[in-house]
Amino acid sequence: MEFSANAPVLFVLAGIIIAAVLAQSVFFLVKAWRRAREIGMDMGRLKKTARTAAIFTIAPAVAIVISVMTLSKDLGVALPWLRLSVVGSLSYETVAATNAESAMGLVFGRVTALTAGQYVTIAWVMTISILVGIWLVPLISRRILNGMITLENRDRKWAETFSNALFIGMIAAFLGYVFCDVSTVFEGSAAGLIPVCVMLVSAVVMALAGLAAGKTKKRWISDYALPVSLVAGMIAAIQITAWLN
Amino acid sequence: MKDYRGYMDSVHRSGTVWNLSVMVLMLLFPLSVGIIYGVVPDGHGLLMGLVATMPMYWAVGVIETVTYVPMLGAGGSYLSFVTGNISNLKLPCALNALEQAEVRANSEEGELVSTIAIAVSSIVTTLIIVLGVILIVPLTPILEAPVLAPAFAQLLPALFGALGVVFISKQWKIAVAPVILMLVLFIAVPALNAGTVGIMVPVSVLFTLAVSRILYKKGLLN
């Protein structure tokens, strides 16, 4: 059979795996939803949580579609579709594909047509390299989360602080990343300030939404504040980049 | 009705079955393509590709798992480590949901809210990517238009600017030191950039935990 990186059979294989992952998401959604009803949680509130999560997801998911387009130039559509729907991210997959291609004498971004052997080699490298989290979570998550429950039972106040510290530590790292190119200002380029300005716009929109929600007592404002701030920051990025680049 | 531990046990049992099944399915993709086209992987390419990629990815994967599992909860972890895009999508989504629902992350309600938010986000992401793949020909010139490129390039600053306001304003005492440390490190060390931010997350988390513990012990967090 003649090979093409966009052969229908590759879409069928990728589609089966993605359908399984979709089924896993539905399974956990139904399981958590039933449990929430069982313990008497406010189901109206949970519906709003689900709606906000869905709306918030749209912009980052479109960014993932763009990543599929980027990788598809070398690898066809089926493999990037699979890799970015299951575990992967653009940065991981690009590095894995680049390493596999260069090991076979190819240059990422300049591949016109892969042979079946090259395609399979790249797919193996991308798959094996990314697998660790999938099998490690079943191995260690029970122990880690039982530790969190024990902590909660022993000292509730410290457990809450511990949780907040985890979240803030993660956010602090990404806020640091926003400033990573700021020093380019001393070399005469303002481009390093673009992410900082975008971050400030989104932060201001979020703060204003918080104030508006507090003043008006309208809860829907805070429900949608994050997706709105995200999109506001992204739209502002277009103009800010035009000014500073 | 099961108690909380009973429910968590059932999440771990089903999560283990799902994750290991998906792992086998993932390995079947390159295997099946090889069988269908009658080819084997290029031995040198496979070995060198894995040597260049795997040690770093597995090390980061172990660190990410240990760091993110306590934040994502049980159901959220099993799902997130299968569907990916954790720091740029699943975790912010869960954080926002916990904040909106006004529940504690370590409580049963927190576990359920986090799982529901991550499951919905995973379903929506999968469906949007399917739509993108079906419409890839007409969508490519639109989504790859130079005018839109800056918007998607700045997704993380826009996301963490908004999240930062919420969490730092509420917990500013424990946020000040890690934010200053990360700003100084990312500005002063050229090697720290988009590619290495994942490695800095556990560093920042450990530092924040240490600062929090000191402040807590000194009674400064009341």
Answer yes or no: is A148 within a domain: no
Compute the nearest-CA separation of A113 from chain B (Å): 15
pLDDT of residue B129: 97
Answer yes or no: is A64 within a domain: yes
Res. B5 pLDDT band, cuts 50 70 90: confident
Same domain? For A126 and A12 the reply is yes
Residue B152 contacts by C-beta under 8 Å, 6 or more apart in sequence?
A62, A63, A66, A234, B143
Separation of alpha carbons B169 and B189, rounded Å? 27
Same domain? For A34 and A109 the reply is yes
From chain A, pick out residues whose CB is under 8 angstroms from the CB of B77. Answer: 137, 141
Separation of alpha carbons A74 and A9, rounded Å? 18
Chain A residues 72-131 with a CB less than 8 Å from chain B: 72, 77, 81-82, 84-89, 91-92, 95-96, 99-100, 102-104, 115-125, 127-131
Domain count, chain A: 2
Interface check B81 vs A, CB under 8 A: yes
pLDDT of residue B4: 86
Separation of alpha carbons A6 and A1, rounded Å? 13
Answer yes or no: is A145 within a domain: no
Same domain? For A116 and A13 the reply is yes
Compute the nearest-CA separation of A37 from chain B (Å): 10
Res. A197 pLDDT band, cuts 50 70 90: very high
Domain edge (last residue) among A101, A130, A159? A130
HEC secondary structure over chain A: CCCCCCCHHHHHHHHHHHHHHHHHHHHHHHHHHHHHHHCCCCHHHHHHHHHHHHHHHHHHHHHHHHHHHHHHHHHCCHHHHHHHHCCCCHHHHHHHHHHHHHHCCCCCCCCCCCCHHHHHHHHHHHHHHHCHHHHHHHHHHHHHHHHHHHHHHHCHHHHHHHHHHHHHHHHHHHHHHHCCCHHHHHHCCCHHHHHHHHHHHHHHHHHHHHHHHHHHCCHHHHHCHHHHHHHHHHHHHHHHHHHHC
For residue A118, what is the enclosing H or E element? helix A116-130
Select from B12, B37, B192 the residue whose CB has the most chain A CBs within 10 Å, as the one to mutate to test that interface.
B37
From chain B, pick out residues whose CB is under 8 angstroms from the CB of A200. Answer: 161
Res. A227 pLDDT band, cuts 50 70 90: very high
Dump pLDDT digits (tens) for B35-49: 999 999 999 999 999
The CA-based dihedral angle spanning residues A30, A36, A37, A38, taken in that order and rounded to the nearest 10 degrees: 110
**Nearest CB to A206; choose among B83, B156, B162:** B162
**Nearest CB to A68; choose among B4, B14, B129:** B129
Answer yes or no: is A139 within a domain: no
Q: Does residue A42 contact residue B90 with C-beta atoms inside 8 Å?
A: no
Dump pLDDT digits (tens) for A11-62: 999 999 999 999 999 999 999 999 999 999 999 999 999 999 999 999 999 9
Q: Look at A103-112, A206-215, A220-229, B85-94 and tell me which has the smallest mean pLDDT.
A: A103-112
> What ipTM was estimated for this complex?
0.92
Find the mean pLDDT for residues A91-102: 88
pLDDT of residue A35: 97
Q: Give yes or no for residue B179 having a pLDDT over 80.
A: yes
pLDDT of residue B177: 98
Find the mean pLDDT for residues A152-162: 93
From chain A, pick out residues whose CB is under 8 angstroms from the CB of B121. Answer: 53-54, 56-57
- Find the domain containing A44 and state its range: 8-130
Res. A108 pLDDT band, cuts 50 70 90: confident
Domain edge (last residue) among A130, A162, A190? A130
Q: Give yes or no for residue A2 having a pLDDT over 90.
A: no
Compute the nearest-CA separation of B39 from chain A (Å): 6
Domain edge (last residue) among A130, A145, A165? A130
Same domain? For A201 and A124 the reply is no
Find the mean pLDDT for residues B161-189: 95
Joined tokens for residue A118: 């090259």
